[in-house]
Structures are given as structure tokens and as C-alpha cells.
Chain A
Amino acid sequence: QVQLKESGPGLVKPSETLSLTCTVSGDSISDYYGSWIRQPPGKGLEWIGYIYYTGSTNYNPSLKGRVTMSIDTSKNQFSLKLSSATAADTAVYYCARDGGGDFHYWGQGTLVTVSS
């Protein structure tokens, strides 16, 4: 059974870098893309970007070059870094197994708050 789990700090200071890791079990991340999606409290969903096992990435331009994703196939993990964080980046961050844009499996999500 495929499971994804997000991990990382729940509190980030403004202007610092938000860093999260997604650990995948029950499946190989080499078979699919790994996407990050976020949801501000009480609001809708925003796709952040994806990474493939080759290291190929595709980011949402709305995040203006602040996003970096990486992958560690030996650990079955992929990661997200979002630089220059502001209060607007406060959200629940989800990782998802991306079959080509359709997200069949999601992590439970982790709330990241940007505040001093």
C-alpha cells in the first residue's frame, strides 16, 4: 500500500527557507513524479511543482523562482525548499504521487506557519 509522509519544521521565520521532505513507502519514486501542493488555511489548493527521479523539475511560475526540489532515490524521498518565506506561505503542504498531473496518493499534510 502506497503511503507518503511529509516531515519538516512547523514554524519558519519570515525571510527564511521553508524545507520539507516527503518519504514514500510501498512504491518506488522512480516510477512516478513527486508533486508538492499547498493549501492556505480555509482556502483552496495550489500546485507548487513536481520532480522526476531523473531530477527533472517543473515549478509553478507563481512562486517566482523561490522553489527548489530535489530527490534521493536511495531513500525513496523527495524534498521541497521555498526561500524568502512570508506569511503568505503559511499553509498545509502536501506531497503527492503524480501520475502525470493526476494525484492518486497524498500525504496527510503538514502545517507550516511563517511567523517571527
Chain B
Amino acid sequence: DIVMTQSPDSLAVSLGERATINCKSSQSVLYSSNNRNYLTWYQQKPGQPPKLLIYWASTRESGVPDRFSGSGSETDFSLTISSLRAEDVAVYYCQQYYTTPYTFGQGTKLEIK
């Protein structure tokens, strides 16, 4: 199985500041035939299902604010929130869909400092 490791486990950032969450996969999730990274990011608030933010590592889902961006390739990825808002408090997960079983990172809890 591909192991997804996120860092840090928790993060406290001031309102308006930048927040960056990292995700590392145990093997490359870049599919060479189409040059796409099979990596998604989800946001989960308490009592709610996860919400898809980013797919193909950097493509923002429709309706997701542009302060959310994804970057990286092969084994190293990041989710950046450019200017933190109170409603961004949540747990964030990365997930690979390069191969089954699809696997998730352990989650990063984002709080306000």
C-alpha cells in the first residue's frame, strides 16, 4: 500500500496569515502517461463529511475559494491557504488515488492562533 504521511499533525495560524500543510507519499503518484499526480486534498469540519478541495494535486474543485492551492509532484505535496479565515478551521487530509487501495494521510488539524 502507498503510505501517506502528513506534517505537521496540528497547526495554529493567525487569521490572515498563510497556512501550509505537507503530504509525502511512500512512492510516486505521478502517472507518466498523462503527467498527472493522483493526489487529492479534503477539508473536514466536525460532524461533516470530508469536502473535496483539490484534485490532480493542484486543480481546485468548483466553488472552492482561490485562497486554497495545491502544489507538488511525485512524492511531495503541499496544501496552502494564503490568508487564513475563521471558517478554515478543520482537519485536512491528503489522499492518493494512483493505485488501490486508495489511502489517506493521518490528517492535520488546523486551528487559529
Contacts and interface: CB of A to CB of B under 8 A. Distances in A.
Interface of A: 35, 44-47, 58, 60-62, 94, 100-104, 106-109
B38 A47 contact: no
Interface residues of B, number: 24
B45 to A, nearest CB: 12
A85 B41 CA distance: 30
Contacts of A94: 49-50
A102 B52 contact: yes
A84 to B, nearest CB: 19
Interface of B: 1, 38, 40, 42, 48-52, 55, 61, 93, 95-98, 100-107
9 closest A-B pairs by beta carbon, nearest first, are A101-B97, A106-B49, A60-B101, A47-B102, A45-B104, A102-B55, A102-B40, A44-B106, A44-B107
15 contacts: A35-B102, A44-B104, A45-B50, A45-B93, A46-B104, A62-B101, A94-B49, A100-B97, A101-B96, A101-B98, A101-B102, A102-B40, A103-B50, A104-B61, A107-B49
A58 B40 contact: no
Contacts of B55: 102, 104
A75 to B, nearest CB: 22
Contacts of A100: 97
Given A44-B93, A45-B93, A104 B104 contact: no
B93 A104 contact: no
A62 B95 CA distance: 17
A61 B101 contact: yes
Contacts of B38: 101
A68 B47 CA distance: 27
Contact of A106 (B1, B50, B100, B107): B50
Contacts of B98: 101
